[in-house]
Amino acid sequence: MHIRRYEAAHFGGLDALRQEAFPNDPPRNSAKVAVPAKLAVQPDLSCMAVD
């Protein structure tokens, strides 16, 4: 496993993982909303664990 800075190419996997882990989350917590909000505030703290 490697820790990497988030890149747009990671979005599909991240979105699928969030949907599997949180299937009943309200739309306001979707990756389409949460990821851009996080990147806007803390772009350097957006990391991914990649296997």
* Structure confidence by residue, pLDDT tens digits, 2-38: 999 999 999 999 999 999 999 999 999 999 999 999 9
Question: Do 30 and 9 touch, CB atoms closer than 8 A?
Answer: no
Question: Do 50 and 4 touch, CB atoms closer than 8 A?
Answer: yes
Is the pLDDT at 41 greater than 90? The verdict is yes
pLDDT at 50: 87
pLDDT at 16: 95
pLDDT at 51: 84
Is the pLDDT at 40 greater than 90? The verdict is yes
Is the model more confident about 14 or about 51? 14
C-alpha distances (whole Å) from 20 to each of 13, 15, 27, 31, 41 are 11, 9, 14, 12, 25
Please give the Cα distance from 7 to 4 (Å, whole number). Answer: 9
